[in-house]
């Protein structure tokens, strides 16, 4: 789980990962919400500790909503994103949640491939969701 001491490392990954990255205050805000979780993917214990990726999600009533997922570009294509999502799903199941929701850009083919491989289904589209490009958001859902 992340703490405020991790924010600088999260911001570096965030800025390298998204055209419109979250500002520092968004991360700090998520750490303060009781229903929000920020999980980290870190380097192996036998190496200098380094944050390699993160996932941020909310658990509300019987649903999980994934807000943000990013992996350091130097460590992509090694299964870290998949492991972060699977850990979040395992936590959802432990808490008897029924569904997992997320939004993704249609242009993010790597993420879409991962989500579909994990069983997420496209259930709706939010038109012009992303302010930076006007791109739609695909709403994906996984029933647990």
Count of alpha carbons within 13 Å of 33, Cβ hemisphere only?
15
Per-residue pLDDT of 92-131, as tens digits, reads: 999 999 999 999 999 999 999 999 999 999 999 999 998 8
Per-residue pLDDT of 33-46, as tens digits, reads: 999 999 999 988 76
Give catalytic status of residue 115 as yes or no: yes
Q: Is the pLDDT assigned to residue 47 strictly greater than 80?
A: no
Give catalytic status of residue 129 as yes or no: no
Annotated catalytic residue within 30, 32, 63, 115: 115
Q: How far apart are CA 57 and CA 9, in angstroms?
A: 18
Rg, Å, the chain Cα set: 15
Q: How far apart are CA 12 and CA 56, in angstroms?
A: 15
Q: Domain 4-143 class? A: alpha beta
Annotated catalytic residue within 50, 63, 103, 130: 103
> Quick one: DSSP state of residue 41?
E
The reply to whether the predicted model has a pTM over 0.85 is: yes
Q: How far apart are CA 143 and CA 141, in angstroms?
A: 6
């Amino acid at each position: 789980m992340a703490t405020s001491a991790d924010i600088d490392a999260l911001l570096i990954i965030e800025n390298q990962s998204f055209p419109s990255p979250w500002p520092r205050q968004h991360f700090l805000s998520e750490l303060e919400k009781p229903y929000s979780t920020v999980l980290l993917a870190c380097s192996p214990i036998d190496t200098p500790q380094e944050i390699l990726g993160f996932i941020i999600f909310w658990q509300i009533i019987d649903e999980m909503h994934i807000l943000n997922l990013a992996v350091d570009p130097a460590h992509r294509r090694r299964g870290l994103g998949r492991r972060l999502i699977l850990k979040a799903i395992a936590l959802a199941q432990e808490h008897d949640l029924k569904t997992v929701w997320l939004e993704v850009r249609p242009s993010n083919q790597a993420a879409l491939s991962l989500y579909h491989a994990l069983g997420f289904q496209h259930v709706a589209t939010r038109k012009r969701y992303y302010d930076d490009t006007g791109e739609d958001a695909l709403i994906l859902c996984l029933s647990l």
